[in-house]
């Protein structure tokens, strides 16, 4: 588990990380770092088991920031404070995932979707009979196909296929955790929804500001998820890799993440310019719900000085530079990243927008802007 910012477990939060006492036990090898935190680590007032169900099981927790209730993390390994821990590998991974997500959303549909309004609704994902990646694109006007369903079905031809489901559009997305069916099988118990299908599915939410998986239902969500914004998990569990570029909130009692690998029969294509992400000795990602920029930086570069020019307060609403943002007091606490000019256009006085990037604790736009607190500029 890697968290670039803070990892906070509240008093009624998860009691187990990395492994639990039952289930299929998709767990890491012994030793090494199993939880890496780029910010603060806190555990509230409850004890948390970390890969310690047997004496032979052990792994370490590493954190860079401050910590509270360290003794609550019950691991057979170590809990290590390493303020200089190199997170560049994971920051580069974040940028890579964003770039891939944005590219995959442009792939044309190859499969077809069928939505029925009986009961609470049923959405079927019907693959073709070709040996190709099965792409489904849910457009913004089709959001009911996600949030007004009690049944999700995959067609028989989906067996042995790579399945990519792009949920297009910005704003908030509710994905109701209805029971998923394939060839009459459902659920995660024995003879349930096939694990090979689970490992072949990727749900891509490239531009949504926030995604709620659950949305009033509690069935298992099968397939890996890639979310460009924030994710709230409010269902009983998700089986697959969980990749979130914003904040992740787990907010349901008894909920579990089952870390099945993403291992589709056919790999998804890489963006043509994917190799440009490897330029420079270290990488730094700058992202919002709709953009990530990658800047090559020297690993020993000194912090950028605070800008001396007065902020622009006329003309268009545009993005602040990353150096400018980092020079803002309390930046390390909020870890607010840079956006781009197109996103800041949402904050122009003629079209004020109540969500990101117009509501960040540190202003990431400047110029002729209007923010959700009513204050001009930053």
Domain ranges in the chain are 2-85, 91-258, 302-367
Contact, 209 vs 339, CB < 8 A?
A: no
* pLDDT, position 306: 34
How is residue 53 written in tokens? Answer: 């169900």
At residue 285, the pLDDT reads 35
The Cα–Cα gap between 312 and 309 comes to 9
pLDDT at 198 over 70: yes
Per-residue pLDDT of 306-346, as tens digits, reads: 333 333 334 688 888 877 887 777 666 665 667 777 778 77
Omega cis (within 30) before 304: no
What is the per-residue DSSP string for 140-155?
A: GGGTHHHHS-SEEEE-
Average pLDDT along the chain:
85
pLDDT tens, 336-362?
667 777 778 778 777 656 667 887 878
161-194 in b/e burial notation, b at 16+ Cβ within 10 A?
Answer: bbbbbbbbbbeebbbbbbbbbbeeebebeeebbe
* Alpha-carbon 237 to chain mean position: 15
CA 338, CA 288: separation in Å to the nearest integer? 7
Q: What is the mean pLDDT of residues 23-42?
A: 90
pTM of the model: 0.74
Average pLDDT over residues 12-25: 86
Over residues 200-230, the pLDDT tens digits come to: 999 999 999 999 999 999 999 999 999 999 9
Phi, psi (5° rounding) for residue 20?
Answer: -130, 180
192-199 contacts, C-beta under 8 A, 24 or more apart = 193/220, 193/222, 195/24, 195/239, 195/260, 196/159, 196/160, 197/154, 197/158, 197/159, 197/163, 197/222, 198/222, 198/223, 198/239, 198/240, 198/260, 199/240, 199/260, 199/261, 199/262, 199/263, 199/264
pLDDT in tens, 255-306: 899 999 999 999 999 999 888 764 332 333 333 333 333 322 223 233 333 3
**Share above pLDDT 90 across residues of the chain, in percent, rounded to a whole number:** 62
Least confident of 49-53, 156-160, 352-356: 352-356
Higher per-residue confidence, 13 vs 85: 85
């Amino acid at each position: 588990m890697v968290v670039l910012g803070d990892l906070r477990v509240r008093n009624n939060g998860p009691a187990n990380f990395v492994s639990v006492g039952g289930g299929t036990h998709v767990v890491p090898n012994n030793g090494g770092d199993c939880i890496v935190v780029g910010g603060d680590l806190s555990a509230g007032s409850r004890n948390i088991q970390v890969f310690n169900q047997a004496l032979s099981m052990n792994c370490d927790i590493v954190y860079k920031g401050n910590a509270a209730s360290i003794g609550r993390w019950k691991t057979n390994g170590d809990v290590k404070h390493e303020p200089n821990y190199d997170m560049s590998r994971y920051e580069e991974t974040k940028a890579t995932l964003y770039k891939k997500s944005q590219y995959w959303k442009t792939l044309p549909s190859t499969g077809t979707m069928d939505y029925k309004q009986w009961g609470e609704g049923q959405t079927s994902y019907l693959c073709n009979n070709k040996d190709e990646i099965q792409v489904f694109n849910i457009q913004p006007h089709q959001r009911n196909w996600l949030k007004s369903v009690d049944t999700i079905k995959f067609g028989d031809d989906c067996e042995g296929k790579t399945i990519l489901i792009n949920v297009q559009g910005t704003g908030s997305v509710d994905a109701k955790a209805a029971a998923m069916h394939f060839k009459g099988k459902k659920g995660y118990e024995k003879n349930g929804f096939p694990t090979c299908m689970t490992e072949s599915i990727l749900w891509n939410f490239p531009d949504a500001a926030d995604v709620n998986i659950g949305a009033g239902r509690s069935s298992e969500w099968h397939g890996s998820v890639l979310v460009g914004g924030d994710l709230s998990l409010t269902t009983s569990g998700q089986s697959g890799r969980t990749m979130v570029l914003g904040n992740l909130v787990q907010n349901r009692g008894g909920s579990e993440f089952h870390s099945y690998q993403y291992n589709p029969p056919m790999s998804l294509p890489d963006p043509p310019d994917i190799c440009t992400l490897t330029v420079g000795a270290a990488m730094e990602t700058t992202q919002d719900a709709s953009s990530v920029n990658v800047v090559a930086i020297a690993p020993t570069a000194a912090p950028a000085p605070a800008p001396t020019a007065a902020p622009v307060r006329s003309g268009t609403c545009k993005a602040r530079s990353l150096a400018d943002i980092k020079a803002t007091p309390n930046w390390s606490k909020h870890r607010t990243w840079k956006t781009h000019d197109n996103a800041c256009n949402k904050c122009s006085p003629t079209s004020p927008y109540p969500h990101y990037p117009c509501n960040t604790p540190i202003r990431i736009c400047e110029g002729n802007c209007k923010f959700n607190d009513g204050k001009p500029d930053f």
